[in-house]
């Protein structure tokens, strides 16, 4: 069993083209022996965003703090603590923090 606090995992800048003010912590993944899923913790600075992109795997997301939006296809949905998001494979998506506060969320993806 592995138990850790968010602050124990080093935050890395998201360096993908099209990202701004986004940091990621891989909380649990392959190095910890997780055979099926990766648990990631994201924090977007006020006004920050992930790249608009798609890929052949799903996402499950749970918002911990802050406000923002998730863009998918031709829709935009507001995010706040307690909201969960499912993004199916190959759906274009992007997360954006509101301009007045950071957005923090957990994201689970399958190991590829």
Tens of pLDDT, residue by residue over 3-23, are: 999 999 999 999 999 999 999
* Partners of 44 in the β-ladder: 22, 103
Residue 73: what pLDDT? 81
Q: Are 63 and 79 in contact (CB under 8 A)?
A: yes
Tens of pLDDT, residue by residue over 25-62, are: 999 999 999 999 999 999 999 999 999 999 999 999 99
Return d(Cα 30, Cα 49) in angstroms, integer.
26
String of b and e for 30-58 (b: at least 16 CB within 10 Å)?
eeeeeeeebbbbbbbbebbbbeeeeeeee
Tens of pLDDT, residue by residue over 75-101, are: 999 999 999 999 999 999 999 999 999
Residue 17: what pLDDT? 94
What is the model's pTM?
0.95
Q: Which domains occur in the chain, in start order?
A: 6-110 (2.60.120.10)
């Amino acid at each position: 069993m592995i138990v850790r606090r968010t602050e124990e995992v080093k935050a890395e800048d998201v360096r993908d083209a099209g990202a701004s003010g986004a940091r990621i912590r891989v909380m649990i993944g392959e190095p910890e022996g997780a055979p099926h899923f990766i648990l990631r913790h994201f924090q977007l600075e006020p006004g920050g965003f992930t790249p608009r992109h798609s890929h052949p795997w799903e996402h499950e997301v749970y918002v911990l703090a802050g406000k923002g939006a998730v863009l998918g296809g031709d829709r935009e949905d507001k995010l706040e603590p307690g909201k969960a998001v499912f993004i199916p494979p190959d759906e274009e998506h992007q997360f954006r923090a509101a301009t007045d506060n950071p957005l923090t969320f957990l994201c689970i993806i399958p190991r590829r």
